[in-house]
Amino acid sequence: MKLDFYQPKNAILKKYIEGYYFIQRQENHKSIEYWTFPNNFFIVSVNLGARVEISQDKIYIASSGEDSVTADFVTRYTKPIEVIYKDVIQEITIYFKPLGIHHFIPKTDLLFEQENGVGFNPFPDFYTVMKELFRLEDRSIQIEKLEQYWLSKFITKDLQLAEFILRDVEADLKINEIAEKHGISRQHLNTLFVKYLGKSPSEYRKIHRFRAALLKKKTTKSLTHLTYESLFYDQSHMVKDFKALTKSNPQAFFKSVDVEKENVWLFI
């Protein structure tokens, strides 16, 4: 399976999209299975000629035998997901940063009421344009057209309160302190967080710590130093969270994955 990950070239898109990758059909394809681990992105995957099934801990992709586009999204997962490509098909997957999707889709409330969704079709021209992208053979033109399309859907929204709360959660302030700081109740803070990010502040913070540890592991060899640099209370706290998010302890996990990659997953 050939997979290329790109970061947006456009300055506006860089603020709201972490990146995207392409999977290209190969002649001698084989069934591929891997584990992907929790993150705080809103992930949209678009496939050509595929049948996609999503459950709580598994995503299954197989050829549909039809020349049609399908799309799905995943926004809330707190445990590893097993991804199975029964057939290697064509795919474009886009990672929207936390709060990012709100700047492209007018009404997002229904999306965040679900953990994931098959049949994602946010605009009348979405499937048509995506199918045209799959037909392009030049990757640079694909990238240009993909970014042009999402830029055409850009919406200016005032999400200042949500942005401030998000920063405070990432800075590891206590929930009561954040609520008091912004003059709202703890319950209202939780409601806002779920509305805009699809998960509770505690879920988000656990994943944020985990992802921060993955980034810092590139330069930090000692797990003890990594524990405190990533805002874990102590090593037992780090072990507990890693087991919940990866089904493995930190030492075993870091032996199994390549943290130098843009996306961290474990092939099985």
Closest residue by Cα to residue 149 from 114, 122, 180, 168:
122
DSSP 101: G
pLDDT value for 268? 44
* Residue 110 counted as domain residue: yes
**Contact 81/29 with Cβ under 8 angstroms?**
no
Whether 133 and 172 map to the same domain: the answer is no
**Contact 52/118 with Cβ under 8 angstroms?**
yes
Which of 79-88, 180-189, 194-203, 206-215 shows the lowest per-residue confidence on average (mean pLDDT)? 79-88
Give residue-wise pLDDT tens across range 214-266.
Answer: 888 888 878 888 888 887 888 899 999 999 999 999 999 988 887 776 566 65
Whether 37 and 126 map to the same domain: the answer is yes
pLDDT value for 56? 76
* Residue 264 counted as domain residue: no
Work out the number of other CB atoms within 10 angstroms of the CB of residue 135: 9
152, 169, 197: which is the final residue of a domain? 152
Whether 12 and 144 map to the same domain: the answer is yes
Residue 155 CB partners (closer than 8 Å, separation 6+)? 102, 103, 104, 105, 106
Q: Between these two residues, 110 and 37, which has the higher pLDDT value?
A: 37
Give residue-wise pLDDT tens across range 42-91.
Answer: 999 999 999 998 887 889 999 898 999 999 998 888 889 999 988 878 89
Cα–Cα distance, 1 to 94 (Å, whole number)? 18
* Residue 215 counted as domain residue: yes
Whether 45 and 170 map to the same domain: the answer is no
List the structure tokens of 193. Answer: 């967080």
Whether 26 and 72 map to the same domain: the answer is yes
129, 152, 175: which is the final residue of a domain? 152
- What's the Rg (C-alpha) of the chain? 19
152, 177, 208: which is the final residue of a domain? 152
Work out the number of other CB atoms within 10 angstroms of the CB of residue 119: 9
14 pLDDT above the threshold of 70: yes
The CATH number of whichever domain residue 173 belongs to comes to 1.10.10.60
**Contact 8/147 with Cβ under 8 angstroms?**
yes
Taking the chain, what is the end-to-end CA distance rounded to the nearest angstrom?
14
* Residue 266 counted as domain residue: no
- Record the pTM: 0.91
Whether 13 and 123 map to the same domain: the answer is yes
Of the pLDDT bands very low, low, confident and very high (cuts 50, 70, 90), residue 204 is: very high
Whether 18 and 90 map to the same domain: the answer is yes
Cα–Cα distance, 20 to 189 (Å, whole number)? 31
pLDDT value for 5? 84
Residue-number span of the structural domain to which 143 is assigned? 2-152
**Paired strand residues for 116:** 74
* Residue 257 counted as domain residue: no
Report the residue count for the chain: 268
Whether 24 and 145 map to the same domain: the answer is yes
Whether 26 and 138 map to the same domain: the answer is yes
Whether 111 and 243 map to the same domain: the answer is no
1 pLDDT above the threshold of 60: no
Average pLDDT over residues 173-201: 94
* Residue 258 counted as domain residue: no
Q: Between these two residues, 48 and 268, which has the higher pLDDT value?
A: 48
Number of domains in the chain: 2
97 pLDDT above the threshold of 50: yes
**Contact 115/197 with Cβ under 8 angstroms?**
no
Cα–Cα distance, 199 to 213 (Å, whole number)? 20
Whether 193 and 220 map to the same domain: the answer is yes
Whether 75 and 117 map to the same domain: the answer is yes
* Residue 9 counted as domain residue: yes
* Residue 260 counted as domain residue: no
Give residue-wise pLDDT tens across range 143-170.
Answer: 999 999 999 999 999 999 999 999 999 9
Beta strands 50-54; 58-63: pairing state:
antiparallel
